[in-house]
Amino acid sequence: MVGRERISKKLKRCPTSNTFSLYNRAMKFRKLASYLDKLEKTSSRIEITKILADLFKKTDSNEIDTVIYLVLGQLAPSYKGVILNIAEKMMIRVLGRTYGRKDDEVMAAYKKAGDLGNVAQELGTGQKVQGTGLSVKDVHDELMKVARDGGEGSQERKIELLAGLLKKLDPLSSRFVARIPVGRLRLGFSDKTVLDALSWMETGGKTAKGDLERAYFVLPDVGLLAKNVKEKGIKKAVIEIKPVFGVPVLPMLAQRIKSPEEMIEKMGKISVEPKLDGLRLSIHYKKGGEVEAFTRNLNENSWMFPELQKIGVQINAREVILDCEAVGLDEETKAMANFQKTMTRRRKHEIEETLKKIGIEFFVFDILLKDGENLMTKPFAQRRKTLEETIKLGGVLKVVDSEATGDPERINELYRENIKKGFEGIIVKKVDAAYVAGRTGWRWVKMKQEATSSAKLADTIDAIVMGYSAGRGKRAGFGVGQFLVGVKDGEKVKTATKIGTGITDEKFRELRKRLEKIKTKEKPKEYEVHKDLYPDFWVVPSLVVEIAADEITVSPKHTAGLALRFPRLIRFRDDKSPKDATTLVELQSLFKMQKAP
């Protein structure tokens, strides 16, 4: 941190020091706002990348992490759980307090503009700005104060803090700062484009993109990665990356193959494990009882699992990072619960009651770090041996069964055995493969159907909800008739189907509540939608749903080029973020699989 106090002390020690110039070089927020304005007006992905690269070149290493968090509409990497979570109604009060307007005046302006940032800019035009202009770090520090404030009277304090901040900003800056607390900065890009821009900054192109991605998957803090790149260069920053306690590694993912013969052909020596219908967790344990648990969307959720406080007796190590699946157990029947029941642990106010109904076991299947040693580069067979030596049996940690085989028919037998036991299917793993964070490939494959199955679609789809249409008839009461979903294609989201049947009344009501919170007036920049498929209401890309369907068909209107036939909502995937959604490449792969004999 380079702050006024630290600089002042340095100046006292060394009067001729030029440290004061470092503070003077600190980027003013109004300069960042000018870049945000350019980004908002740009739809070309390559132009967005170039604008970001130019911004990063002009940003010092001591503040580039802060700049990156802010351009992403964040205050910190997602795994740190720093959120402002300010409701729109509260932000309307902030704007009223800032610009001396009544709340109903601000509300009227908001209904007309549809964007609180635009309202802030309009109300701030012509008003005198307090001070000489805040730096990027000043703005970030003030927003952090708002995020950290809690307890009795915190709402009024937050309003005062935000109003005080906006009064010190020029109209353009206020447009963007007013959007951040309500989660509406979205400029149509995510961490992926930032990585592209870092490559462009260093090399003038995307040649370093692959190296940066691999580093990011192990240490998913794009701000910290950028800081390291500025200080050390890309090569050194990437070489030094390894798993760190308290920082979630993006989980390794499985490819889909129906044929055991093809598995053997592509993977060689393999091992078979059950596929569980649970919550994927990265467990970080340090001797002395320090435990953290991260879901796939990088949220720290150890509060959901009080059982983890007792796992020290089962771990033969000072420090470990484990990859596992948390699976609920019905306390009456002692049978494995499905994903939805496991996820009832999310209800903080009912956690004690839920504990009595749904127990948890943690099925561990990999180990990434042990006592400071990076195990990700080791082959699976070696990691498995280390895992068995590390976990003592007899508690909530269970080491999943694993059987090595080279016989395709044995793979089918193991699939059928695991289905009978209540598992989703099997995971087949290449025994000499390293743990490659955030990647699919022929290292791990999942099998949820036998090759002889008559079902055409081999798996479900994790889709992003893009918008919805108002209900008609009975559904008018729900406020939702159909909703539009899509899949990822790079930073774009392309449509794949509309869903309006096979949904219970209860799910319709829950869907409406969720969609109301993320509704937006304008179509998000990253959406590609045929005009005939435009919904009545758009939503920001944040809700992921699991969809089943009978088959995938070619579509002339859906921008994915493919569509799901007879789609059905299975569940809300609160453990996944949009970046975890099914990709267009994966959808195309499933389409090819269903056509295979």
pLDDT tens sequence across 149-188? 988 999 999 999 999 999 999 999 999 999 999 988 889 8
pLDDT confidence band for 450 (50 / 70 / 90): low
Task: Report the catalytic residues.
Answer: 275
Question: 349 pLDDT exceeds 60?
Answer: no
pLDDT of residue 291: 96
pLDDT confidence band for 543 (50 / 70 / 90): very high
The fraction of the chain above a pLDDT of 90, given in percent, is 68
The fraction of the chain above a pLDDT of 70, given in percent, is 88
144 contacts 75 by C-beta, under 8 angstroms:
yes
Question: 10 pLDDT exceeds 70?
Answer: no
Dihedral pair phi/psi, residue 185, rounded to 5°: -70, -25
What are the structure tokens assigned to 277, written together?
């219908």
Q: Of the given ranges (244-248, 286-290, 461-465), which has the lowest mean pLDDT?
A: 286-290
pLDDT of residue 14: 40
The helix (H) or strand (E) run that includes residue 293 is strand 290-294
- Gyration radius from the chain CA atoms: 25
pLDDT of residue 475: 58
- Residue 465's DSSP bridge partners are 485
pLDDT of residue 333: 62
Domain spans, the chain:
24-73+189-239, 88-182, 255-447, 461-595
pLDDT of residue 340: 67
Give the global pTM.
Answer: 0.83
For residue 207, count other CB atoms closer than 10 A to its CB. Answer: 12
pLDDT of residue 473: 59
Per-residue pLDDT reduced to its tens digit, 480-530:
889 999 999 999 999 999 998 777 888 888 898 899 989 988 899 999 999
- Give SS3 for 94: helix
Q: What is the mean pLDDT of residues 94-114?
A: 94
pLDDT of residue 16: 37
Question: 24-73+189-239 falls under which CATH superfamily?
Answer: DNA ligase, ATP-dependent, N-terminal domain (1.10.3260.10)
pLDDT of residue 521: 86
Q: Which of the given ranges, 176-180, 305-309, 344-348, has the highest pLDDT on average?
A: 176-180
Per-residue pLDDT reduced to its tens digit, 80-100:
989 887 999 999 999 999 999
- Residue 428's DSSP bridge partners are 272, 445
Q: Are 24-73+189-239 and 88-182 the same fold in CATH?
A: yes
Question: 350 pLDDT exceeds 50?
Answer: yes
DSSP 294-307: E-TT--B-GGG-GG
For residue 313, the 8-state DSSP code is G
pLDDT of residue 122: 95
pLDDT of residue 456: 62
Question: 21 pLDDT exceeds 70?
Answer: no
Angle between helical axes of 29-40 and 136-148 (0-180°, round to 10): 90
Q: What is the mean pLDDT of residues 358-369?
A: 92
CA 400 to the chain's CA centroid:
27
pLDDT of residue 345: 65
The dihedral sign for the CA sequence 579, 580, 584, 585: positive
Cα–Cα distance measured from residue 312 to residue 228, given in angstroms and rounded to the nearest whole number: 34
Cα–Cα distance measured from residue 170 to residue 139, given in angstroms and rounded to the nearest whole number: 12
Per-residue pLDDT reduced to its tens digit, 416-432:
999 998 888 999 999 99
Question: 108 pLDDT exceeds 60?
Answer: yes
pLDDT of residue 125: 93
Q: Of the given ranges (6-20, 220-234, 351-365, 570-584), which has the lowest mean pLDDT?
A: 6-20
pLDDT of residue 435: 96
- Residue 399's DSSP bridge partners are 364
Does CATH number 3.30.470.30 belong to domain 255-447?
yes
Cα–Cα distance measured from residue 68 to residue 141, given in angstroms and rounded to the nearest whole number: 14
Question: 323 pLDDT exceeds 60?
Answer: yes
pLDDT of residue 597: 53
92 contacts 117 by C-beta, under 8 angstroms:
no
199 contacts 209 by C-beta, under 8 angstroms:
yes
Question: 461-595 falls under which CATH superfamily?
Answer: Nucleic acid-binding proteins (2.40.50.140)
pLDDT of residue 309: 92
First to last CA, the chain: 61
pLDDT of residue 504: 80
Class of domain 88-182: mainly alpha
Cα–Cα distance measured from residue 468 to residue 537, given in angstroms and rounded to the nearest whole number: 5
pLDDT of residue 83: 87
- Residue 398's DSSP bridge partners are 363
pLDDT of residue 289: 78
pLDDT of residue 424: 87
The helix (H) or strand (E) run that includes residue 546 is strand 544-548
Question: 18 pLDDT exceeds 60?
Answer: no
Three-class HEC string of 433-448: CCCCCCCCCCCEEEEC
The dihedral sign for the CA sequence 418, 419, 423, 424: positive
